[in-house]
Structure 1
Amino acid sequence: MSVPYTKSPQTTFDPIRALQLASSTLTIEADAIQALNRRLTTKSDDNLGSNFTAAVGLLLNCQGRVVVSGIGKSGHIARKIAATFASTGTPAFFVHAAEAAHGDLGMVTANDVFIAISYSGEAGELLAIMPLIKRMGAQLIAITGNPASRLAQLADVHLNAHVDKEACPLNLAPTASTTVTLALGDALAVAVLDASGFREEDFARSHPGGALGRRLLTHVRDVMRTGKDIPSVQLDCSLIAALLEITKKGIAMTAVVDANNHLLGVFTDGDLRRLLERMHDFTDIKIADVMHKNPRTIGPDKLAVEAVKLMETHRINQLLVADHEGKLVGALHIHDLTRAKVI
């Protein structure tokens, strides 16, 4: 009969001891990553540097997908590594090592690269499916802390993620070893990302809901005001009628256009304030007499972030949108860009 684990009652809490352990944990894990870096960038007994470049080569030449698998804490790390690959342009997914032996292995093909993660290199669930992985022809990258392990020996490429000790005071809980494994997985993903020519625009396409995606995928045409929401008046319009249009449309300006909707000028609230300093009777003033000719514009196919930059450069809050023929097609206010979360 097994005895259930019961947590020992805690009678005291020593804040100084807690901070010491926290500092020790960070130091041990940082030292472990530095040691990994030294083995990666200098000649080492485990040939980590050459093995790493070989692994990058396998991943770059993968005609299928990258399948990452592990069990326990290594499984959690494997899941994150798979997510990093997938978000940086390399089709990848996680397969639970235990579930793989019960049907999920059917997702793996001969064109895939299989990354198996086990610090001991002896995880039974992974070793059970390795013969099948090898038999179907998929390439195998193993990340372990033991080059002599069975998993390491089966791999086409082995990456040694050995650490001298765990951060756990008992040297039992996977801490430094999982940190090093995760860092090694990130290093693989970054190297593949760079070699494959993955750029900001590609990242944005796989993260359309994120801030970068909004910045790089949102165009002026997506956020500009169109149709009846565009403030505009004809060239022969009176200033008073133009002021009514500004008030009606609510973006503190109006465009001035000709009969064919070609943009001729703009008049803003700022122009009105400056005009009030010089005169008070607007009865006989035409908009053509006080408008700014050749106003700053942006095209509808430009990125919305370009509109933001233009506004910031010229310290304005509004911008007219004109097509390649100079026709007025839209209007932008800084609030439109804020609502779209471009800024």
Structure 2
Amino acid sequence: MQTKLLGFNPQDLSTAGKLIRDGQLVAFPTETVYGLGANALDVAAVRSTYVAKGRPSDNPLIVHVWHGDQIYDIASYVSPLAQKVIDNLMPGSVTIVLPKKPIIDDCITAGLDTVAIRMPKSQQARDFLRYADVPVTAPSANTSSRPSPTTWQRVQEDMDGKIAAILCGDNCRVGIESTVLDLTEQPRILRPGVVTADMLEDVLGCHVEVITDPKSKVNSPGVRYKHYAPNVPMALELNGDVRKLCDYYDELTSKGLNPVLLVEHPDLFGERNTRPIGETDEAVAQNLFENLRLLEKQYDYIIASYSSRTEFAESILNRLVRSASHHII
């Protein structure tokens, strides 16, 4: 299969929309990461997503819409709390989990009676979804377990020859996946993101629980399996301890390895290989997956350090810990 590279002009958007309606896969940008789109009403198309990604089929998918009215075609019940999120935070980087209608097949929800729904903030994403004119499932457009792509070039690395087209849009501004909020009972964050618990509590006027036990996240996309891992080993340090980082780096070089330090203050590490992780939480998130994909091509071990403890930083740490396969030094 030859993967087409499409732009954001009416002709190419029309082509991308028709490909979706014809059961093909099209990658497209959102403000969080690039998604791998399929017609949510076409079971064969949805199942082909799992094949292209090498993703287990018992991992739910998020259904993307361009307009709020589509939510009521998908969800069997929209609670007053869910309506508050829709009215105040959508379009945005938040996914809501609601009871599903029969129109949504079990292959999307991994057999669950709930569906995850998102209306992206990205105008490019919503333009594509409008041209598709159907709800679109879209996990991140990468090979399963790899760092999520935040540029169309990274999508091409993983998906060239496997999917019909890539919409070559903007680099992703947020850089990590959406917050997943379960609203089937009391509000629970199943996957953290840029929309934090404090932000949700301000909108909802009630407590929002943040679930940290993986066994409690069975109805959330993107939390069940190994995620975000570069192709080289990775370790994570959480306090910005320069001495510890230097010692670990030097130990690796003594074994003949060529490591790199992905750190907050590269100037503190002398002649060692370094790359800045970012000066703000927003910069760290925006560049995290791109940094991992870049460094895996140049070095054979990544040592990351991140000491921020803001609420948004906890969402970033969620990705870093999993990228390092929970290897904390």
Report TM bin, short chain: under 0.3
Q: Normalising to structure 1: TM-score of the pair?
A: 0.21
**TM-score (norm: length of structure 2):** 0.21
Q: In proportion to residue count, which structure has more helix?
A: 1
Q: Which has the larger radius of gyration?
A: 1
